[in-house]
Amino acid sequence: MKDIKSTFEELKTYQKALDFIDETYQVTKSFPKNETYGLTSQYKRASLSIALNIAEGSGDTNKQFNEFLNISSGSIKECVVCYTVANRLDYITAEQNHQAWLKLQEFSKMTSGHKNYLNNSNNQRPTTKD
């Protein structure tokens, strides 16, 4: 059976977001049980939101996709806060915090670059270029 892929699945930002989700789920496994419905839940939802909004917006017009990328950018900022709080509570190490911050900064730059591309493009549909 042939694999069916949507355009958004080819986006580098989307692929990196999936990797980040995997890392988020792995890291939050070590969080205390009393954080299950607090920080752990919020962090997982924020990391998922990055990929979900890229996927949801990719089939729309450039203007609509830009709006979803803005939501993704907000989720990136939420993840920064979640990692910072986890670090301050000693749930993760300073090195884990730094590595996550670098990845989130890269997401932020990629998202901004994609928004700039969409704003300067006359295409009606987004491309796979990040």
Q: What is the pLDDT of residues 41-86, one digit of tens each?
A: 999 999 999 999 999 998 878 889 999 999 999 999 999 999 999 9
Ramachandran sector of residue 51 (left: φ over 0; alpha: ψ -120 to 50; beta: rest): alpha
The domain containing residue 115 runs over which residues? 7-28+36-119
Residue 89 lies in a domain: yes
CATH number, domain at 83? 1.20.1440.60
Contact 114, 7 (CB under 8 A): no
Residue 60's pLDDT is 79
Burial of 85 (0-12, 13-18, 19+ CB in 10 A): middle
Angle at 109 (CA atoms; ends 108, 111), nearest 5 degrees: 65
Residue 126's pLDDT is 47
- Give the contacts of 104 (CB within 8 A, at least 6 positions apart): 20, 76, 79, 80, 83
Q: What is the pLDDT of residues 91-109, one digit of tens each?
A: 999 999 999 999 999 989 9
The predicted model scores a pTM of 0.84
Residue 2 lies in a domain: no
Nearest to 55 by CA among 121, 105, 1, 6: 6
Give me the number of domains the chain comprises.
1
Residue 50 lies in a domain: yes
Spatial distance between the Cα atoms of 81 and 113, rounded to a whole number of angstroms: 22
Nearest to 14 by CA among 120, 130, 99: 130
